[in-house]
């Protein structure tokens, strides 16, 4: 697969690979407490946002490549408003994990659902995965709604993630290749 510059798109938004200057738009959302509330990171300092983008750029050059992180861009805006990511977690068993994050100014507009759909299609069609999964906090209602639209609920992992305020459970969702095709 050609990995020079991947773009995924639908009618109103597209996902493109990050560039160095994207740290500014990353920082606009990653520095907000309400965005990082369910995450092990953040709120980010400018240095942390820059370091994040540098790590993403370094991961793009690793072979074999296992991490694909994309800027979310709405066609009419032509600027990054979030990020979507798919990681190959197990090559032997053809399994991958997706995640997404959207600037709160754009919450509730269906962006995360469209991003998840694009990432899942990319995972099956281009990365040849068999199973794609995602985790979310039980208290993250928005993300839970997104995942319920595109995947099946598998269960709950108890206290599997250590946040600053303590242990957090995670809901597990997945979709299989044959389910996505239908």
pLDDT digits (tens, 9 = 90+) for 26-38: 999 888 877 777 7
Structural domain contains residue 22 = yes
Structural domain contains residue 102 = yes
CATH of residue 76: 3.40.630.30
Q: What confidence tens digit (pLDDT) does each residue in 11-30 have?
A: 999 999 999 999 999 999 88
Domain count for the chain: 1
pTM: 0.93
Structural domain contains residue 139 = no
Q: For 93, list phi and psi in degrees, rounded to 5.
A: -100, 10
Range of the domain at 75: 7-132
Structural domain contains residue 182 = no
Structural domain contains residue 172 = no
Structural domain contains residue 24 = yes
> What residues contact residue 69 under an 8 Å CB cut-off, 6+ apart?
17, 18, 56, 59, 83, 84, 85
The two most distant CA atoms of the chain are separated, in Å, by: 44
Structural domain contains residue 32 = yes
Structural domain contains residue 93 = yes
């Amino acid at each position: 697969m050609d990995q020079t510059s991947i773009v995924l798109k639908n009618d109103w938004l597209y996902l493109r690979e990050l560039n160095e200057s994207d740290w500014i738009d990353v920082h606009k959302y990653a520095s907000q407490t309400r965005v990082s509330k369910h995450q092990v990171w953040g709120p980010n300092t400018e240095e942390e946002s820059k370091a994040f983008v540098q790590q993403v750029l370094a991961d793009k050059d690793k072979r074999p490549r296992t991490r694909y992180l994309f800027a979310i861009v709405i066609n009419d805006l032509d600027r990054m408003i979030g990020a979507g990511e798919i990681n190959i977690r197990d090559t032997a068993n053809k399994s991958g994990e997706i995640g997404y994050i959207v600037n709160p100014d754009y919450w509730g507009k269906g962006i995360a659902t469209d991003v998840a759909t694009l990432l899942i299609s990319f995972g099956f069609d281009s990365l040849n995965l068999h199973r794609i999964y995602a985790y979310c906090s039980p208290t993250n209602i928005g993300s839970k709604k997104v995942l319920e639209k595109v995947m099946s609920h598998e269960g709950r992992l108890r206290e599997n993630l250590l946040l600053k305020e303590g242990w957090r459970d995670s809901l597990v969702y997945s979709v299989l290749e044959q389910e996505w095709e239908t």
